[in-house]
A and B are shown apart, each in its own frame.
Chain A
């Protein structure tokens, strides 16, 4: 095992940055969504919104951002509260599979429209 001080600078910098970049993407999507939200609302308008290429692209970016953001957040939660290494690994793997599954499902939903 590498002998090093396990607290210090730069451990997790990438995750820290990813958390913020994905947060900004989600904020931008929220603003966009509030602007393009159909008024009056109905099935045709709702479907029409998600049938547009740019909306699909924006929603795709949202889904990827949620995936990364939720992974980092949930991993931190598991790291903080689950002391047993094996159990923690299990929860982390389940979280990844769950989130990737959800992202795949979201893609399916979007590209069926």
Chain B
């Protein structure tokens, strides 16, 4: 690689161990993890959509697949991933327009992301199970 002008002391290495992360940092890393999970789950979602729309028996079969305990666990995990990703994303949109950017507000909204997404996921989990 050729010399790229300005020598800054980069990269800077911070200790990003999840155990040391403040709540907004936890929201952030879970935002990333949930995003990857949703990316990986896309194919299962499309498969179920195709099956359920194909025919009456396909619809029943999709329902049957979703009733297996392991499938229920995966559905609940995916729903939590989706809800967390969505809540963290909404928080992000507010931060982008300078709403709630103070340290105190940002920590509170980060905490709220966990509370809201976990509560919604739990209420759906109860119904799914």
| A residues in contact (CB < 8 Å) with B | 1, 3-7, 20, 23-24, 27, 30, 43, 46-47, 50, 66, 70, 73-74, 77, 102, 105-106, 109, 112-113
Contacts and interface: CB of A to CB of B under 8 A. Distances in A.
Interface in B44-69: 46, 49-50, 52-54, 56, 59-60
A-B pairs, top 3 by smallest CB distance, nearest first, are: A43-B59, A109-B50, A73-B35
A28 B47 CA distance: 23
B42 A50 contact: no
Interface of B: 2, 4-6, 8, 10, 32, 35-36, 38-39, 42-43, 46, 49-50, 52-54, 56, 59-60, 86, 89-90, 93, 96
A51 B121 CA distance: 29
Given A105-B46, A109-B50, A1 B35 contact: no
A30 B86 contact: yes
Given A27-B90, A77-B36, A109-B53, A70 B6 contact: no
B28 to A, nearest CB: 12
A5 B6 CA distance: 7
Given A3-B4, A20-B96, A23-B89, A77 B32 contact: yes
Contacts of A112: 53-54
A10 B83 CA distance: 30
A30 B85 CA distance: 13
Given A73-B35, A74-B39, 18 more contacts: A3-B5, A5-B4, A6-B4, A20-B93, A27-B86, A27-B90, A43-B52, A43-B59, A43-B60, A46-B53, A47-B53, A70-B35, A70-B38, A73-B39, A77-B32, A105-B50, A109-B53, A113-B53
A6 B10 CA distance: 11
Dominant SS at the B interface? Answer: helix
A23 B36 CA distance: 15
Nearest to B8: A7
Contacts of A1: 2
A6 B2 CA distance: 13
A23 B53 contact: no
Nearest to A6: B4
Contacts of A50: 53
24 contacts: A3-B2, A3-B4, A5-B4, A5-B5, A20-B96, A23-B89, A24-B93, A30-B86, A43-B52, A43-B60, A46-B59, A47-B59, A50-B53, A70-B35, A70-B42, A73-B35, A73-B39, A74-B35, A102-B43, A105-B46, A105-B50, A109-B53, A112-B54, A113-B53
